[in-house]
Structure formats: structure tokens, C-alpha cells
Amino acid sequence: MKLPLLIVGAMLLAFFSSPVACTGRGAATSEDNRGQAAAATPVEIALWPEGMALARPETNEPEKVTHSERKIGGRTFLAIQNVSKPTMTFYPATGANSGVTILVFPGGGYQALAIDLEGTEVCDWAVAKGINCAVLKYRVPQAWWHKDCHCQYPPKPQMALEDAQRAMGLLRRRATSLGIDPKKVGVLGFSAGGHLIAAISNAPERIYPAVDEADKLSPRPDFAVGLYPGHLWSGKGVDLFSWDPVRADTPPTLLIQAEDDPVDDVRNSVSYFLALREAKVPTELHLYAEGGHAFGLRETDKPITRWPALLETWLHTIGMLKG
């Protein structure tokens, strides 16, 4: 069963409207891009051992950062393309450390990563709340969902899912040194990252051979949050379409989307919600009339952009946050 094309032109337009190429980390110092979790001391962690053979993304181009002229919440944003060396950057909680950790999956249609808008800016919010945070820079592009791709489904290897599962194992393995609770590690993803939170939540096992001790720990998150998720709706009715069916042990899940989303149909969230409910997985679905797509955490005049308060309340509801 092939997934219908939901985005292509809209996604590329949304993320790469009039891009200007930037180089290195200097691009992230732009005054327009403040999503650097500056209050915390970041630790960049290579996901895989040096020299290990990894599947490469579907490009021979070098990694680069593009700086879009499109503005969200009055500011532009950055996207990373052509990622062949995946990493995660960990930001420790400031103030009282709750022990909770959020692993963030930026969106970008599995073609690029909106690294500040849907990545580091989550950590800016989280660490100030006493929540540890890590941003996953997973391998892209991998165009398995494209209608003209004629690719194997599901793709082999599933590069983003491999990177996500590896990151979960590393966080749990290093829990003591990072100051986190290994039983309170969840995921949060936007758009294609919202598909990735479903993939890692429902995969029956690790999808690659164990590399070291980190891979002996569970790759499944303790909670999951999906913002305007894509690639979950079959295109027929409200049928769910994903790599693996929802399981009874799928973690509690929060879904948030706008009904006027022009990129990923709201039925992506509705379909996943219904599948979670059928499996009796604790879940909440919040739909807003307006908000569009790719708003990240940047507050606008639309009520949906105040969703971080919903997330904080929900984390208390499911027992992750106390007090």
C-alpha cells in the first residue's frame, strides 16, 4: 500500500521559499534566529561510532544550512539539508531539574530539518521549565513517500528511525552523566517528525543490529507528542497508514493540529488518534480551527501557537512532571 502524496510542493514551498545558502554554524547566530537554547550548555553527541558504515541519504551533496526568507512569528528560520552524519545535541535543564527529557524531531518532509523553528526553540522553552531537551539531526533526504519515487515501502533502511532509536538508547545509557531519568524520556516531532514519533512509538523492536550497550536498552519513548504530523493518513476515510500498527504498549500520546493546515491534512492526527484509542493507549487530540502549518513554538495571533502550555499540563496529567 503506497502513501498518497500529501505535500511535496507545499512542503518545499513552506520550508525553502527563496532560500539563501549559509555555511557552518555562523548562520545560526543571525539576530533573526534566537532558537539556540543559549541558557543551557549544549553537548553534541555523535550517534554512531566513528568510521561505522551507515546508509547515506539520497544525495551526494554536502551538508548545508539554508536561511529562508519566509518569516514565522516575525522571524526567519533555518533548515539543514543533506545530513549524512547524524548527531543529537543535548541541552540540560536550567533551575530545578525534573529529570524529564524531550527528544525533538524537527520536520522538513524527510528532505531537510527545520532545525531552529522545530528544534532548538523547543529546547529554549523546555530547559526553562526544568525539562532536559535534545535535538535530533537525523539523516535526510529519504524520499520514500514521494509518489514518483517508486521506492520500497517501508524504506530499507529507515534512516530516520534508526537514528531516533539510537538516540533513545544513548540517552538512557548516559542517564546518570546527563542527569536525566531514563524512565522519563519522550519524543516530540513536527510534520515529518510527527510521523517519526509514531514510527518510534510503535516499532516492535530495534530495527538495526545492536552496536554497543546503549542498544540493549529500550528504544521506545515514555511519551510522545505530535505537532501537525504528516504521512499517517491513508487518503481514504480516516484509515491509518504507518510502518507498524499501534500497540497496547505504545506510550501516551498528545496530538495538536490546525484544521486549516494546507500541507498535512488534519486527518493525519485524527487517524492516529482513532488508532491509539482503539488500542486503549492514553491519548489527547487538540484541533484548532486556524493555525496553518509549520508554526513551531513561535507565538502568533492564532490560539494554537500557545500549545506549549497544553504540553506542560499534559506532562503533569500523565505523571511525567510532578508538583
> What is the Cα–Cα distance from 292 to 311, expressed in whole angstroms?
19
Task: Give the N- to C-terminal CA distance of the chain in Å, as an integer.
Answer: 46
Chain centroid, CA 251 distance in Å: 16
Summarize the confidence of residues 309-318 as an average pLDDT: 98
Summarize the confidence of residues 305-318 as an average pLDDT: 98
User: What count of other Cβ atoms lies within 10 Å of the Cβ of residue 154?
Assistant: 15
Q: Is the peptide bond before 42 cis (omega within 30 degrees of 0)?
A: no
> What is the Cα–Cα distance from 264 to 232, expressed in whole angstroms?
9
Q: Using one digit for the tens of pLDDT, what is the confidence trace for 61-96? A: 999 999 887 888 889 999 999 999 999 999 999 979
Range scoring the smallest mean pLDDT among 19-23, 254-258, 279-283, 309-313: 19-23
Residue 7's pLDDT is 32
Residue 241's pLDDT is 65
pLDDT tier for residue 242 given thresholds of 50, 70 and 90: low
> What is the Cα–Cα distance from 244 to 154, expressed in whole angstroms?
10
Residue 244's pLDDT is 85
Q: Using one digit for the tens of pLDDT, what is the confidence trace for 143-198? A: 877 667 667 777 778 999 999 999 999 999 999 999 999 999 999 999 999 999 99
Average model confidence (pLDDT) across the chain: 87
Residues with Cβ within 8 Å of 43's Cβ and at least 6 positions away in sequence, in order, are: 89, 90, 92, 178
* pLDDT > 50? residue 268: yes
* pLDDT > 90? residue 137: yes
> What is the Cα–Cα distance from 225 to 320, expressed in whole angstroms?
13
pLDDT tier for residue 234 given thresholds of 50, 70 and 90: confident
> What is the Cα–Cα distance from 308 to 96, expressed in whole angstroms?
19
> What is the Cα–Cα distance from 247 to 296, expressed in whole angstroms?
28
- Identity of the highest mean pLDDT range in 17-26, 63-72, 108-117: 108-117
- 224-227 vs 64-67, strand pairing mode: unpaired
